[in-house]
Amino acid sequence: MDSGDAKEAFPLHCDDTPFQRCLAWPIPSLKGTTDSEMSLFKRNDVWGTRFTTPDGKRIRKSTGTIDKKQAQEFEDTTKAKYWRVAQLGEKPRRTWQQAAIRWPNETRHKVDHENDNARLIWLNKIVGKLYLDQIDRDVIDSIASTKMSENGCAPV
């Protein structure tokens, strides 16, 4: 294929200089991916992102920033999390509050459902801002000592 054939095959082509540099070369997009510039959008000075996850779910959310570089970083890390969940089988990281909201809906059949709700409200004061993977033996010991001190018992 000589340079004339290339120009006919690709209407957007490079100039005829040695070590040609293409400014507008048609690049086929990969299935399921979009140009990152198109997936970022601005709404009332705040950047948002929209993309499709590897399993086909559409995501549209605010990045919470007015800085485009920070918005791009937020989008990249969010996409990476969804990719790791879909491709590597990793479980998404959940917060205590997400679990606490879900628990009452899944345990309505329990006899002591109201007691569970009261315990969740009390526990939320201590572990409300933690991720579930951050709740370890030390946190549980802290919860136990706090509960014992509220009840007037000496910690063990």
**Confidence class for position 156, pLDDT limits 50, 70, 90:** low
Residue 58's pLDDT is 93
Residue 68's pLDDT is 93
Residue 150 pLDDT > 80, yes or no?
yes
Residue 28's pLDDT is 40
3-state helix, strand, coil in the chain (%, to 5): 50, 10, 40
Residue 64's pLDDT is 93
CA pair distance 7, 12, nearest whole angstrom: 8
pTM of the model: 0.52
Residue 72's pLDDT is 94
pLDDT digits (tens, 9 = 90+) for 17-60: 444 444 443 434 444 444 444 689 998 999 999 999 988 899 99
Residue 148's pLDDT is 87
Residue 109's pLDDT is 84
Residue 154's pLDDT is 60
pLDDT digits (tens, 9 = 90+) for 63-106: 999 999 999 999 999 999 999 999 998 888 899 999 888 888 88
CA pair distance 24, 26, nearest whole angstrom: 7
What does the block give as tokens for 100? Answer: 């606490």
Half-sphere exposure of 8 (CA within 13 A, CB side): 5
* Axis crossing angle, helix 137-150 with helix 113-127, rounded to the nearest 10: 110
**Confidence class for position 115, pLDDT limits 50, 70, 90:** confident
Question: Residue 31 — φ and ψ, nearest 5°?
Answer: -60, 130
